Amino acid sequence: MTPLLKTSRWLPLLVALCCLAAFPSCHRSVGENCCFADEAIQLYRQARYDGRPTGDPFRDSYYALRHALDSIPFVCDTDEPYAYHVVGSDDCTSILAKLPGVQMEQGWQMCVQYKGDINGNCYLMARRGDSVTNLLDHLEVDFTEEGVWNAMMLDMSYGYLPCGWHGCYLKMSIIFDIEEILRAPDIQHASKTDPLGELREKLSKETVEINNRVRILDADHAVIEAYCWHDWHGLYINRIQVTRHGDNVTFQPSPIKDCQILIPYDSTVQF
């Protein structure tokens, strides 16, 4: 045993340093989740948010939403490890201005809340005064392709908001081209076991037509086909059933195990 460890007065300091290493406390935006490498995140942001419209309204709305969510100042609470809280006001209603076809019911705001303890996720919610409830209950949606798509992205926001520990298993990205898989922040999980070289080689051999779309079936029903990436399943098509209820909608996504897997992948990362 070294003289340092023999000296009991140093032990509290060593314990504190170990705790800080295990549970870093700092102001973090969404992209700087504890799970992701900062350098990779910066590359991802530069590649994705260049400010130029792509000509695809679904893609432009998705990028705008991710960019807006990345700007929310979160703090990781060390008293409740990996519990995330917004610094200042958690009113996110202004984000809806970037998404055509969706708005909050009069008198309601959109806020973000963390649910869970060490294993949890952040969710976009509806709030009026002290009442906080499901976002879709008070989100007014134009029953158009763009309105339905934008409402779906908001409903799935837990997949790209900050998460804690086992909550990371819900991380996902919507994908618009194969190369984008390598820029998605979620794929940085894989960098712990795969420096992306093997994945890049695998993707270079794949020919997959990606076509995110919404089909309006009738006045009250629609189907969304969203191409999603998940670190433990790969690239898959999530077929989501949409039902209209007056000014609101509900979604019934397919469990991943029932989805069509286009490019299977397993990062092998375990939490």
* pLDDT in the model for residue 114: 86
Other beta carbons within 10 Å of 213: 12
Least confident of 111-120, 161-170, 222-231: 161-170
Confidence of residue 5 (pLDDT cuts 50, 70, 90): very low
What is the predicted pLDDT for the residue at 150? 98
Residues 19-40: tens digit of each pLDDT: 333 333 333 444 334 333 334 3
* Residue 12 domain-assigned (yes or no): no
Higher pLDDT, 269 or 105: 105
- pLDDT category of residue 265 using cuts at 50, 70 and 90: confident
Distance CA 162, CA 82 (A): 9
The verdict on residue 11 lying in a domain is: no
Question: Which of the pair, 3 or 142, is modelled with greater confidence?
Answer: 142
Tokens, residue 60: 């432009």
55: left (phi over 0), alpha (psi -120 to 50) or beta: left
Q: Which residue has the higher pLDDT, 157 or 37?
A: 157
Dihedral pair phi/psi, residue 106, rounded to 5°: -55, 130
* Backbone angles phi and psi of 92, in degrees to 5: -110, 15
Chain-wide mean pLDDT for the chain?
A: 77
Task: Tell me which range, 173-187, 237-251, 254-268, is most confidently predicted by mean pLDDT.
Answer: 237-251
Angle at 101 between CA 98 and CA 102, to 5 degrees: 75
DSSP 209: -
Q: Is the pLDDT of residue 18 over 50?
A: no
Give the mean pLDDT of 43-67. 74
User: What mean pLDDT is predicted for residues 254-269?
Assistant: 84
What is the rounded distance in angstroms from the CA atom of residue 159 to the CA atom of residue 185?
11
Residue 172 above 90 pLDDT? no
Q: Where are the beta strands (DSSP E) in the chain?
A: 27-28, 74-77, 83-86, 102-104, 109-116, 120-128, 131-134, 139-141, 163-164, 173-174, 213-218, 221-230, 234-245, 248-252, 260-264
Average pLDDT score over residue span 261-271: 78
234: left (phi over 0), alpha (psi -120 to 50) or beta: left
Query: Is the residue at 8 inside a domain?
Result: no
Q: What is the mean pLDDT of residues 242-248?
A: 98
Highest mean pLDDT among 3-7, 83-87, 105-109, 251-255: 105-109
Instruction: Please count the structural domains in the chain.
Output: 1
Between CA 81 and CA 24 the distance in angstroms is 9
Burial group, residue 58, by CB count within 10 angstroms (0-12, 13-18, 19+): buried
Higher pLDDT pick, 195 / 26: 195
Whether 68 is covered by a domain: the verdict is yes
CA distance 105 to 201: 48
| Per-residue pLDDT tens over the stretch 61-107 | 998 998 888 888 887 766 655 567 787 778 999 999 999 999 999 99
Inside any domain, residue 15? no
Would residue 10 count as lying in a domain?
no
Q: What is the pLDDT of residue 133?
A: 97
Residue 59 lies in a domain: yes
Residue 204 included in any domain: yes
Cα–Cα distance measured from residue 37 to residue 116, given in angstroms and rounded to the nearest whole number: 24
Place of tokens 């098509």: 237
Q: pLDDT above 70 covers what percent of the chain? A: 70
The 3-class SS string of 147-176 reads: HHHHHHHHHCHHHCCCEEHHHHHHCCEECC
pLDDT in tens, 131-144: 999 999 999 999 99
Cα–Cα distance, 44 to 184 (Å, whole number): 6
| CA-atom Rg of the chain in angstroms | 20
pTM score, two decimals? 0.78
- C-alpha 31/C-alpha 45 separation (Å) is 8
The residue range of the domain holding 53 is: 23-264
